[in-house]
Amino acid sequence: MTASQETAGSGAQMLTALVRLRGALQAAELPLDAPGVEEQRGSRSELVDQLEDYVIPRVMTVEAPLLVVVGGSTGAGKSTLVNSLVGRRVTEPGLLRPTTRSPVLVHHPADAAWFGQDRLLPDLRRVEHPTNDHDALQLVAADSIPPGLAILDAPDVDSVEEPNRVLAAQLLAAADMWLFVTSAARYADQVPWEHLKAAAQRSAAVAIVLDRTAADAVQTVSTHLARMLASRGLKDSPLFIVHEGPIDADGLLPADHVADIRAWLASLAVDPGARDGVVRQTLEGAIRSITRNTHPVADAVAGQVVELDALRSDVATAYDDAAAALATSSGDGTLLQGEVLARWEDFVGTGELLRSLEDKVGWLRERVVNAVKGKPQQAERVMVAIESGLENLILQESESTAAAIAARWRDRPAGAGVLAGSPELDRASRELRRTAERAVREWQQDVTELVRSAGAGQRTARFLAYGVQGLAVALMVTALDQSSTEPSSAAGRRLLEAVFGAGPATELVARARDTLEYRLGDLLEVERQRWTAVLDALPVNPDAAAQLRQAARRVDDVRFARAARSGEGAE
């Protein structure tokens, strides 16, 4: 394998690894609010942007012209400097602040093909005229720019308009070299230095222009600026001084004021080794920075899984508790009060029935028949009262459960964020009353059918024909108070035992309880699913963190292997 083939193979491996890393980052969403997550959301977005805007296009076209992005503080004279370097007005200086316009990229006519829509900064639409569209990139061909070099005039990094600041950061991250323009009045401003610090951390190539500085201030300001650069890891960055001078009618500085910068840029363009050195320094630094910064994003993604599990646990615990509470309150006699108790006693005549049952005489069944036969209206009233009582119990438990989960979630930033996007989640569903009514009626039908089936083989067929509803009511009352310590529920159990026998009666009560708890469980499950559906819809992938780390390690593996083949170390 020749050296060129080996280099091409290494480039293909790196491109594949970078594309996979981009895909892993795009898939690693951070929808849940958590401490520090906003920073990692921003970092993830920046990593994807840098891969798409610069790293992947540059790896695909390493021979493309050197892109120098001219950036800096508001009023530093960037556009004037760009026009002066080109030798004609190609970008309009902003007389009013903030200047709102698209960035301008100036290149040699022979290099136009390198800056098509599918190349550098693919999200920016290409235009050939000035525009205020932040999503456009104005291309200007100029013979005065040597082949192999392109200069891009970026918005102010400290613009008062956020879109300008965002675009400036995006363009700087896409630069092979940043030509940082400042002035004697602005060189110590904090915002530009934050960008310079980021450039130093990823080993990006940076050159500094101290623009339009009075002769008597050059020594003092340049010395202080040089110390600031050295203390921030930029001591090797070239520093150019543009002396204060007149601006001609075309808005250009005197040619000799920018001659050093123009000559230095031209030397980079015509010297393949120097040009490649700048590109490689910035590209390698960007790749190294991306893989390093991927791991905190992966940690944040893993934290999303933990947060999601905690929210799921809150829901599961609350509805498990609700199921237990409903099972208890629907079986401990709580419902046999008020309206239900009054209607039951009207129906059965509790005291008289108990005395009859305690006599234990042979004609007991006939007296039971007389107690319940011919009272279908009273039986229906008991069933209506039971239905209403159960419905209210279900609604109250569901409302309190929803409120309890909402309170727990509001104590968690992640849960509070989810609730903010689902404003009706903190109470029972609007459909619950209707579905609870249907479920209770279906349970009452289940109980009635149990009685009918149990009595199908009884010799007292005539009694069952007339008393199924009455016995069903007795079974419901008994199922709602399994303790049977109160006279009202004791009457129901003794009635069932008198008709069916003790063993069958116990089995009937157990089956009635089972069907009730099953239907209550179904209702709660529907309510639970309202919460889990919201959580399920969140784009939290439990495998995303591992996939991110694996993709970053693959990029590092290719990078280290390439450094080893070239005999250089890789940080």
As a residue count, the chain comes to 571
Half-sphere exposure of 227 (CA within 13 A, CB side): 6
Place of tokens 């784009």: 539
CATH 3.40.50.170 fits 63-270, yes or no: no
Total-model pTM:
0.80
Tell me the pLDDT band of 112, cut-offs 50, 70 and 90.
very high
| Residue ranges per structural domain of the chain | 1-60+274-304+545-571, 63-270, 330-540
Range list of H helices, 480-501: 487-500
| Assigned token pair, 245 | 């001078």
By CB atoms closer than 10 A (0-12, 13-18, 19+), residue 179 is buried
Highest averaged pLDDT of the listed ranges 49-63, 209-223, 353-367:
49-63
Q: What is the pLDDT of residues 433-476, one digit of tens each?
A: 999 999 999 999 999 999 988 887 665 544 454 478 888 998 99
- Amino acid residing at 207: A
pLDDT of residue 165: 86
**Cβ(79)–Cβ(92) below 8 Å:** yes
- Amino acid residing at 445: Q
Q: What is the pLDDT of residues 325-371, one digit of tens each?
A: 999 999 988 888 888 888 888 877 654 444 444 444 344 444 444 44
Report how far residue 222's alpha carbon sits from residue 385's, in angstroms, rounded to the nearest whole number: 91
C-alpha distances in Å from residue 561, one per residue of 15, 184, 281: 14, 45, 17
Rounded (5°) CA angle 323-329-333: 150
**% of the chain at pLDDT higher than 90:** 55
Report how far residue 107's alpha carbon sits from residue 115's, in angstroms, rounded to the nearest whole number: 9
What are the counts of helices (DSSP H) followed by strands (DSSP E) for the chain? 19, 8
Rg (CA), the chain: 40
